[in-house]
Amino acid sequence: MPVTLRAGVRQGAMLSLAFGAVLFTGAVTGAWSGAPAEDRPPSSSDALAGRDLAGASLSRQQAERLVAEGGDPWAAYYSPGEYTDLTEGRYRGVGLSVRRSADGATTVDRVHPDGPARQAGIAAGDVLLGIDGKAADRLPVTEVVAGLRGETGTEVELTVRRPGAAPRELRLRRTELEARDVTAEQLRPGVVRVAVRGFTAGVAGQVADAVRGARGVLLDLRGNSGGLVDEAVATASLFLDGGPVASYQERGERRELTAARGGDTAVPLVVLVDGGTMSAAELLAGALQDRSRAVLVGARTFGKGTVQQPSRLADGAVLELTVGRYTTPSGRSPDGTGLTPDVPQPAGGDPDAATRLADTVLSGLGRGQRG
């Protein structure tokens, strides 16, 4: 674990979603997929600018100190194993995700079917009151995540309360789990809801399988903390026939991210977003919105519009550092502001109500297409 508080919090955020729903996986990074390139400049931050760290011989402590003091709020250090877990969709923890409710409570959002939390009887809707003796509602979500994560075999004490019941004290042992970043369900005949929780390796292919043959698609990006830019662009390519997805500036040079040709531009498409939709997920949603390919439904997105790039150190570890900000095809930057949905969800933030609203919008798109 990082040796400074800031580094520790940042690692928790890098492996999970910050300030919204906490994913089982999810790089909030917006990093490229594939092996980290050793010939790319590593950072645009003040302290790291101009320093090519690819191949550098740094101890973990040195690298973490550099991240903590480097002036790049999204920088992170990963051991070789941690980086593989991050990009391939594995993590070590107890198998639950949480969200911060409007009243400040930390509520269990999802439970991994094979994780220790499920085995202990924790269910979605339970309230997480405490973690290792600290009140969960007084901690930033990033610190809650960092507390749930940890090395395989280590333990964490949780205080959980089910609505209408007394609090329970539980001691759970962390284990390695495989994230399930793509889930699909049929809302009605021919209409599929595909929830994408993070862009790890292979996600675009899973989405392609899920939407094949559908007559209407509800792409649910709520709580999606981002991940590999290549996977987000490949997902956009499923619904676009070439053309721009995003662009970014790297050291004064403009670089374009472009969809592949041949995507399905006819199937009605609605994208669900919320305050936990971040980074590469915002890149995807912004591209589909700007190009009039999808209607965005839900709440304003998080507002992380920066792109990180990995540099491989001599020992195989990875430093992931910010190289620039991206803009959508129309030139918008979501950084700090987020994306505004075309159809805002009603006050109250009920996830089921937002899904029903999105399905209603999707029904209208389908009627318009038939007409």
Confidence of residue 260 (pLDDT cuts 50, 70, 90): very high
187: nearest Cα among 207, 209, 210, 216: 216
Query: Out of 3.10.20.90, 3.30.390.30, 3.90.1150.10, 3.90.226.10, which CATH number does the structure's domain 182-305+326-370 have?
Result: 3.90.226.10
For this structure, is 57 an active site residue?
A: no
**Which of 43, 225, 304, 311 is an active site residue?**
304
Local confidence band at 285 (pLDDT 50, 70, 90 cut-offs): very high
Interval 278-297 mean pLDDT: 97
Q: Is 132 left (phi over 0), alpha (psi -120 to 50) or beta?
A: left
Q: How far apart are CA 215 and CA 341, in angstroms?
A: 23
pLDDT mean across residues, the chain: 81
- Buried b / exposed e over 352-369, threshold 16 CB at 10 Å, is eebbebbbebbbebbeee
Delimit the CATH 2.30.42.10 region(s) of the chain: 5-177
Q: Domain 5-177 class?
A: mainly beta
Q: Token pair 């202990």 is at which residue?
A: 120
Q: What is the pLDDT of residues 306-343, one digit of tens each?
A: 888 888 999 998 988 888 889 999 999 999 999 999 99
Q: What tens digit of pLDDT does each residue of 52-101 get?
A: 678 888 888 888 888 888 888 888 888 887 777 777 767 788 988 787 77
The partner residues of 214 in beta bridges, in order of sequence, read none
What does the alpha-carbon distance between residue 343 and residue 357 come to, in Å, rounded to a whole number? 9
Per-residue pLDDT at 243 exceeds 80: yes
Question: What would the pLDDT profile of 138-186 be if each residue is shown by its tens digit?
Answer: 887 767 877 888 888 999 999 999 999 999 999 999 998 877 789 999 9
Q: Which of 79, 279, 311, 363 is catalytic?
A: 279
Is 247 an annotated catalytic residue?
no
| Cα(2)–Cα(100) distance, integer angstroms | 25
User: How far apart are alpha carbons 54 and 186 in whole angstroms?
Assistant: 46
pLDDT at site 189: 94
From residue 150, alpha-carbon distances to 97, 108, 173, 230 in Å are 14, 18, 10, 28
Nearest CA to 212 among 232, 187, 184, 236?
184
Looking at the chain, which residues constitute the CATH 3.90.226.10 domain(s)?
A: 182-305+326-370
